Amino acid sequence: MTAQIWYENDADLSVFDGKTVAVIGYGSQGHAHALNLRDSGVKVVVGLRPTSKSVAFAKEQGLEVKSVADATKEADVVMILAPDQYQAQIYRDDIEPNLKEGAALAFAHGFNIHYGYIKPSADHPVFMVAPKGPGHIVRREYAAGRGVPVVVAVEQDPRGDGWGITLAYAKALGALRAGAIKTTFKEETETDLFGEQDVLMGGINHLCEMGFEVLTAAGYQPEIAYFEVFHELKMLVDLMNEGGLNKARWSCSDTAQYGDFTSTVIDEHTRERMQYQLGRIQDGAFAKEFMEDQAKGAPKFKELQEEFSRPQLETVGPKLRAMFSWNKGEAADADEKESFTGKIARAQTQE
């Protein structure tokens, strides 16, 4: 089945005439949504805890900032961009009691709706606009006249105008310059978690770490090991981005291709473990484990962060990355990100 994709001409920003959008949270995604919508002519108010360090950052950008409760009271659309683990409490304490009749609720990830941690009453439209990129890229691409693709979904549509609101929001975000793919809260949540756990964070990260450890344990220099399992990965991913797996393979030597085809590291056992992880995502076991740990103060999460800090990698990596001229621009981008979005990300807890 071919996915349905919408572009600029498929949405009407006049949907927001006389309307206010409250953006709850001012972290990576929050700042991008608020600024892009504001610059598209939408009236935006940012909802934060009065004690949040992000209040100052948002005000510096010329945005109106109010408490979550007060921002919700005046909003026709409330976009909740706080971290997943805090959304349910924020909704229960500050949003639900102050939500205008018929106001729409919006999300950039389906987690809390799909797993039932947030259950809006049936009279509220519920939709999702989920950028397929981090917030600083969403903002940067918008400012450059481009956009980051999004996936969009409507969970509740009591008035029949849910898709109009959704696409107008995506257009104001700049996303329809690239395209919006129709999905569902269920599909977005489960595929997003699977991608993170089994291919990206839980796949590539562990594969690189283990490759580095195997090489250094065998007596190879850490610098050489880092080049082989980390540095060259970027080149391969860039080729995939340009032309898919075929271009990535064709651009490498015959020796590399033959090793790719005959490798037994990723095999049917890996598929079985992926299917097991997907099952835990589908039946809610992963979400339950994560949310219960967070409710206790995240002891397991913090323990795992410490366990996987990999101090040797973080000693070798910066030294080698500094050798490449093309990283200089990226380093500057990282410094810029740290000066704004990096700081607000650290301050976003329970925003």
Instruction: Confirm or deny that 169 is annotated as ligand binding.
Output: no
Is residue 31 flagged as an active site residue?
A: no
**Cβ atoms 32, 342 nearer than 8 A:** no
Annotated binding residue at 102? no
**40, 13 contact by CB (below 8 A):** yes
Contact indicator for 111, 286 with CB cutoff of 8 Å: no
Which of 233, 226, 218, 249 has the alpha carbon at shortest distance from 310?
226
Residues 6+ apart with CB under 8 A from 243: none
Say whether 28 counts as a known binding-site residue: yes
116 labelled binding-site residue: no
- DSSP-assigned letters across all residues of 24-37: E--SHHHHHHHHHH
Query: In this structure, what is the dihedral angle of CA atoms 143, 145, 149, 153, given to the nearest 10 degrees?
Result: 80
Contact 67, 79 (CB under 8 A): no
Is 67 annotated among the ligand-binding residues? no
Question: How far apart, in whole angstroms, are the C-alpha atoms of residue 206 and residue 209?
Answer: 5
Annotation-wise, does 121 bind a ligand? no
- Among the options 31, 33, 109, 114, which is catalytic? 109
Give yes or no for a contact between 61 and 6, defined as CB atoms under 8 angstroms apart: no
Paired tokens of 209: 């770490």
Flag whether 27 is marked binding: yes
Q: Given CA atoms 250, 255, 259, 262 in this order, what sign does their dihedral have?
A: positive
**Alpha-carbon 15 to chain mean position:** 26
For residue 241, count other CB atoms closer than 10 A to its CB: 10
54 is in an annotated binding site: yes
Q: How far apart are CA 200 and CA 193, in angstroms?
A: 10
Sequence-ordered alpha helix ranges (H) in the chain: 28-39, 54-60, 68-74, 84-90, 111-114, 135-143, 162-172, 185-194, 205-217, 222-226, 232-250, 254-262, 268-282, 285-295, 299-307, 311-321, 326-337, 343-346
Q: Any known ligand binding at 309? A: no
Between strands 126-131 and 104-107, the pairing is parallel
Pick out the residues of the known binding site for NADP(+): 26-29, 49, 52, 54, 135
Which residues are marked as active site? 109
Pick out the residues of the known binding site for substrate: 253
Pick out the residues of the known binding site: 26-29, 49, 52, 54, 135, 192, 196, 228, 232, 253
Pick out the residues of the known binding site for Mg(2+): 192, 196, 228, 232
